Amino acid sequence: MPIVVDKEQKRKEIALACKDLLVQKSIQEITIAEIAQTAGIGKGTFYEYFKDKEELVFELVNLLMQAHNARKEAKLAEAHSTREKIKLFYSFFYEEEASDLRVLYRKFIAYALLAPKQAMIDFQTECFRFYYRWVEQIIDEGIAKGELLPVAKELIKGMYTMGEGMFVASLATDGVIALKEDLNAFVDHIFDLVEKENR
């Protein structure tokens, strides 16, 4: 048989090799030739593995997000209070650890708005479901323990999208949003409202 490369694997390698480039430069400034050179492949080869630059960004976000989620799940075990567990979810938006991923995620969202492709939609939907279930489980536990009012369950979707919304808004405005502080403040105020003991 002829040469057989693991296409899936090579995709990942190419994407990873371009990480710094993709994080540092705006995608529009990056040329395919530059990408190929960075990954140490020919320009034509790039097209064997990706349809365009967006797919490359997408692959990388996918890759890093998976790793990120794994780390987060580990951390979740360490969190004690319900409030802390929920805040852990939002920390993606400001923690130093995830800053590269955030830069890429931002570009990914932009593309998803500009020229959505099914794979992107599927990915975003899966992300939503993943985090929704996460938060749902935490809230359910809180309700079961009698800590939280049952109405807390109805707030999950809004709370989730609030995070993304504040993230986007903080990137597109200047001086009106302090992401970490505003996110945590909102969560605290909501918790104050749905914790039974405060009633």
Partner DNA sequence: CTGAATATGACCGACCGTCGGTCAATAAAA
Partner DNA sequence: TTTTATTGACCGACGGTCGGTCATATTCAG
Nearer to a copy of itself, 10 or 106 (CB): 106
Residues in the chain: 199
Task: Tell me: does residue 21 bind DNA (CB under 7 A).
Answer: no
Task: Tell me: does residue 26 bind DNA (CB under 7 A).
Answer: no
Q: Which of 24, 42, 133, 181 binds DNA (CB under 7 A)?
A: 42
φ, ψ of residue 115 to 5 degrees: the values are -150, 75
Task: Tell me 177's DSSP state.
Answer: -
Task: Tell me: does residue 119 bind a copy of itself (CB under 8 A).
Answer: no
- Per DSSP, the three-state class of 26 is coil
Alpha carbon distance 18, 35 (integer Å): 7
* Torsion sign (Cα): 79, 154, 137, 113: negative
Shortest distance (Å) from residue 40 CB to DNA: 7
Do 177 and 171 contact (CB within 8 A), yes or no? Answer: no
By the 10 Å C-beta count (0-12 exposed, 13-18 middle, 19+ buried), 17 is classed as: middle
Task: Tell me: does residue 43 bind a copy of itself (CB under 8 A).
Answer: no
Shortest distance (Å) from residue 182 CB to a copy of itself: 6
Task: Tell me: does residue 5 bind DNA (CB under 7 A).
Answer: yes
Nearer to DNA, 33 or 151 (CB): 33
Do 47 and 35 contact (CB within 8 A), yes or no? Answer: no
Instruction: Centre a 10 Å sphere on the Cβ of residue 65 and count the other Cβ atoms it contains.
Output: 20
Residue type, 88: L
Nearer to DNA, 43 or 129 (CB): 43
Q: Single out the segment in contact with a copy of itself by CB under 8 A; choices: 30-38, 79-87, 135-143, 169-177.
A: 169-177
Q: Which of 95, 130, 132, 136 binds a copy of itself (CB under 8 A)?
A: 132
DSSP string, 3-22: ----HHHHHHHHHHHTHHHH
* Total interface residues for DNA by CB under 7 A: 22
Binding site for DNA (CB under 7 A): 1-5, 7, 10, 30-33, 36, 40-45, 47-48, 52-53
Binding site for a copy of itself (CB under 8 A): 26-28, 106-107, 109-116, 120-122, 124-125, 128-129, 132, 151, 154-155, 157-169, 171-177, 182, 185-186, 189-190, 192-194, 199
